Amino acid sequence: MKIPYYPGCTLKTTAKPFEDTTKAVSEVLGIELLEMPRWNCCGTVYSLASDDLMHQLAPIRNLIRVQDMGYDRVTTLCSMCYNTLEQANQLVKGDPEKLEKMNSFMDQEKDYTGGVTVVHYLTLLKEMGFDSLPVKNPLKGLTVVPYYGCLLLRPEEISIDNPERPTIMAELLAALGATVVDHPYKLECCGSYHTVDYKEVVCEKTYHILSSARKRGAEAVVLSCPLCEFNLDFRQKDLEQELAPMPILYFSQLLAVSLGLFDALGFDQHYVDPEPLLKEKGLLR
Amino acid sequence: MIPKISKETTLLDKTEELSGEKIFSCHKCGKCSAGCPVGTLMDVRPHQVIELVQANDWSVLESRTIWLCASCFQCATRCPKDVDLTRVMEALRLLVLRENFDHIRISEISKEELRELPPVALVSNFRKCTG
């Protein structure tokens, strides 16, 4: 399968292991990720003001690029990119007047016709069937909790799963052989961009999310958002007195481990190194 | 200090126009406050924000609440009356930010933090907190 791929800024910097492991996995699964030649920032947060079209231009311009490539779907990894691209997409699909205004503003581009769908990589895997994954190194003995956060699931219109009771990541992790436990903080916002201006809020959220996961017996937390990863991982630095270290992993890193792909895990980019845990379980070579 | 905002039209009208929401649809069940991940840290609880807008009380713009909201859409997902409070919060922030006001000072972020923070954190924060 060939599909255009929108990386976004953070997948090229602090979340490089997320991209690298996904690329390695995709190669094995026969998913040819066609990185868009001229992608631009999606805006990171969807603009919620009814009079603001200016901030919708960036996401829509990316969708025009997908259209130019001759495809009607694009996949992405970052929860924030997914959310912003698809919310903007649904806005213009449902409002021809706004779409026309934006098209005439971007007169150097071809008009966007509203024919592109943004598909999160987890959805792509689900379509292929989690049970069909060629697992070589099952994650036996590893107990994990999925952490969904906000932007894969809310608002409801763009949700990749049931927005209040999602199972998609749990299904994937179970198919990889891990023991998956549920926990009540799986949907709870980590504090998001307040990591810049209200760090203490993020520390408090991180404490609650991780201690809840630990109480349920989790040895690692699995997620799909580079900002959640930073908050839950790096903010543990300020919680060392209160919390034993909890490894935070992208789902693609565990997927790579389970497929026997150990070359691009990028554990050195984490604050809490997941390697000792995975070695203890005999999952790393 | 928040900037001086022209009060020729009512807060209710401005908020409804910017958010596209009907503020009086709210029937005060409190689900937004119950589910808000930062609700306990707010000086004005989410459902009280709606009440203040209904009452045209401009003091809501001086609350810590509108800046603490992280646009997680939890309240919007749970509202039984389809009042999207996430949009209302954004409208209230914009009423302040559009007076050329910045809620954060980018120059005060240390070099160490700038090196460590992921781009997605910085861009989203600046989008939500600067005018």
Of the candidates A48, A197, A205, which has its C-beta nearest B87's C-beta?
A: A48
Asked whether residue B110 is domain-assigned, the answer is yes
Mutate to test the interface with B, among A187, A188, A197 (most CBs of B within 10 A): A197
ipTM above 0.90, yes or no: yes
Give yes or no: residues B72 and B121 share one domain: no
How many CB atoms neighbour CB B36 within 10 A?
24
CB spacing of A192 vs B72 below 8 angstroms: yes
Interface of A with B (CB under 8 A): 8-10, 13-15, 41, 43-45, 47-51, 55, 78, 80, 150-151, 153-156, 163-164, 187-189, 191-198, 201, 204-205, 226-227, 230, 234
Q: Which residues contact A182 (CB under 8 A, 6 or more apart)?
A: A145, A170, A216
pLDDT at B3: 74
Give yes or no: residues B38 and B15 share one domain: yes
Asked whether residue B123 is domain-assigned, the answer is yes
Asked whether residue B6 is domain-assigned, the answer is no
Asked whether residue B119 is domain-assigned, the answer is yes
A81 within 8 A of A63, measured Cβ to Cβ = no
Asked whether residue B2 is domain-assigned, the answer is no
Q: What is the mean pLDDT of chain A?
A: 97
DSSP string, A108-162: TSPPP-S--EEEEHHHHHHHH-GGGS--SS--TT-EEEE---STTT-SGGG-SS-
Give yes or no: residues B22 and B77 share one domain: yes
Return the structure tokens found at A96: 């021809």
Give yes or no: residues B26 and B85 share one domain: yes
B91 within 8 A of B19, measured Cβ to Cβ = yes
Range of the domain at B87: 11-99
Task: Give CA separation, A79 vs A121, A133, B10, B130, B131, in Å.
Answer: 10, 23, 37, 23, 25
Q: Which residue of A has its CA nearest to B40?
A: A201
Pairing of strands A248-250, A220-223: parallel
Residue B42 pLDDT exceeds 80 = yes
Query: What confidence category does residue B6 fall into, taking pLDDT thresholds of 50, 70 and 90?
Result: confident
Asked whether residue B47 is domain-assigned, the answer is yes
Model confidence over A131-185: pLDDT tens digits?
Answer: 999 999 999 999 999 999 999 999 999 999 999 999 999 999 999 999 999 999 9
Give yes or no: residues B63 and B29 share one domain: yes
Give yes or no: residues B19 and B36 share one domain: yes
Give yes or no: residues B93 and B109 share one domain: no
Domains, chain A: 2-122 (1.20.1050.140), 132-280 (3.40.50.11810)
If one counts the domains in chain B, the total is: 2
Q: Given the structure tokens 């017996």, which residue do they identify? A: A217
Give yes or no: residues B67 and B127 share one domain: no
Q: CA B86, A165, B74: angle at the middle one, nearest 5?
A: 10
Give yes or no: residues B116 and B75 share one domain: no
Buried b (16+ CB within 10 A) or exposed e, B73-91: bbbbbbbeeebbbbbbbbb
Query: What confidence category does residue B32 fall into, taking pLDDT thresholds of 50, 70 and 90?
Result: very high
Distance from CA of A175 to the nearest CA of B (A): 29
Inter-axis angle of helices A251-258 and A121-128, nearest 10: 40
Query: What predicted TM-score, i.e. pTM, was given to this entire model?
Result: 0.96
Model confidence over B82-107: pLDDT tens digits?
Answer: 999 999 999 999 999 999 899 999 99
Model confidence over A214-237: pLDDT tens digits?
Answer: 999 999 999 999 999 999 999 999
Q: Any long-range contacts for A229-234 (C-beta under 8 Å, 24+ apart)?
A: A229/A15, A229/A18, A230/A14, A230/A195, A230/B117, A230/B118, A230/B121, A231/A190, A231/A191, A231/A192, A231/A195, A231/A202, A231/A205, A231/A206, A232/A147, A232/A190, A232/A206, A233/A270, A233/A271, A233/A272, A234/A271, A234/B116
Give yes or no: residues B38 and B61 share one domain: yes
In chain A, what residues touch B19 (CB-CB under 8 Å)? 48-50
Closest CA to B89 of B29, B38, B28: B38
Q: Which residue of A has its CA nearest to B72?
A: A150
CB spacing of B70 vs A193 below 8 angstroms: yes
pLDDT at B1: 63
Say how many CB pairs under 8 Å bridge A and B: 123
What gap in Å lies between CA B130 and CA B108, rounded to an integer?
14
pLDDT at B7: 74
Q: In what order do the strands lie in the sheet with A143-146?
A: A179-180, A143-146, A220-223, A248-250
Residue A285 pLDDT exceeds 90 = no
